[in-house]
Amino acid sequence: MGISPLIDRLIEAFQILPGVGPKGAQRMVLHLLQHNRDGGNTLSEVLALTMEAIGYCERCRSFSEEPVCRNCLDQRRDDASLCVLESPADILAIEQAGGFRGRYFVLHGHLSPIDGIGPEMLGMDRLLARVREESPEEVILATNLTVEGEATAHYVYDLLKTHVRTISRIAHGVPLGGELEYTDGGTIVHAMQGRRDFS
């Protein structure tokens, strides 16, 4: 039992964020109430607007407030390379590391029969259609280096191998079992530059 039921609800709401437990959530809520109500109001407004306005890019499936995202509209990017990822967070990690100027396609997860996640839930049909339409020279499989990520990479390889000249897998500069969004920029650059042919 806390100070007030509303504060208790807000503390509970903050705990949906990754890495935020009861104590951390309590500190955040009490800080906003005691020291930064304007910041709390701004957070509330921007969060509500973002939840309402952000959808998915029609081409790459990343987050976007427009039908087609900024990366897909950028004419300076290289259409010859298409990088397949598990999450929009992985795009941010690669972009912040620098060194890759190709296109992206986001699966929003990985194959996991135990969890009921099959190819249709990951947009594999849309990936195949995009490859057929745009004919990239290379597809880079940048799924996470986990058992599920590897299984997903194999599935994508089998799906696309007759449609693309080169299918490569990111190099193992990214630690096995690691996830791109938590990997430092230098390691990501090394992994992208040292990618190998998947077959």
Domain membership of residue 151 (yes or no) is yes
Q: Any idea what the Cα angle at residue 42 is, between residues 41 and 45, rounded to 5°?
A: 85
DSSP3 helix / strand / coil % (the chain, rounded to 5) = 50, 15, 40
The answer to whether the beta carbons of residues 66 and 54 sit under 8 Å apart is no
| Domain assignment present for 59 | no
pLDDT at 90: 95
| 2 and 23 Cβ atoms separated by less than 8 Å | no
**pLDDT for the residue numbered 1:** 59
Assigned domain for 102 exists: yes
Reduced to 3 states (helix: H, G, I; strand: E, B; else coil), residue 103 is strand
Give the pTM.
0.80
65 in a structural domain = no
Determine the average pLDDT of the residues in 91-117.
93
pLDDT digits (tens, 9 = 90+) for 27-60: 999 999 999 999 999 999 999 999 999 999 999 9
Question: pLDDT tens, 122-135?
Answer: 999 999 999 999 99
Same domain, 37 and 86: no
pLDDT for the residue numbered 3: 80
Is residue 2 scored above 70 in pLDDT? no
* SS3 (DSSP) at 80: coil
Q: What single-letter amino acid sits at 185?
A: G
Verify that 42 and 92 share a domain, yes or no. Answer: no
Burial class (CB in 10 A: 0-12, 13-18, 19+), 24: middle
CATH number, domain containing residue 10:
1.10.8.420
Q: Say whether pLDDT at 179 is over 90.
A: no
Number of domains composing the chain? 2
State the pLDDT at residue 30: 94
Q: Point out which residues pair with 55 in neighbouring strands.
A: 64
Amino acid at 119: P
Claim to verify: residue 48 and residue 85 sit in the same structural domain: no
pLDDT at 65 > cutoff 70? yes
Could you tell me the residue range of the domain that residue 33 belongs to?
Answer: 5-53
Identify the three-state secondary structure at position 77: coil
State pLDDT tens for residues 144-173.
988 899 999 999 999 999 999 999 998 776
33 and 110 co-located in one domain = no
Quick one: 33 and 99 in the same domain?
A: no
Region 102-129 average pLDDT: 93
Residue 123 is predicted with a pLDDT of: 94
Whether residue 96 sits in one domain with residue 157: yes
Mean pLDDT for 59-73 is 96
Characterize 116-137 residue by residue with b for buried, 16 or more Cβ atoms within 10 angstroms of its Cβ, and e for exposed: ebebeebbbeebeebbeeeebe
Which phi-psi region, left, alpha or beta, contains residue 116 (left: φ > 0; alpha: ψ -120 to 50)? left
Q: What is the CATH number of the domain that holds 111?
A: 3.40.1360.10
Residue 24 lies in a domain: yes
> Residue 107 domain-assigned?
yes
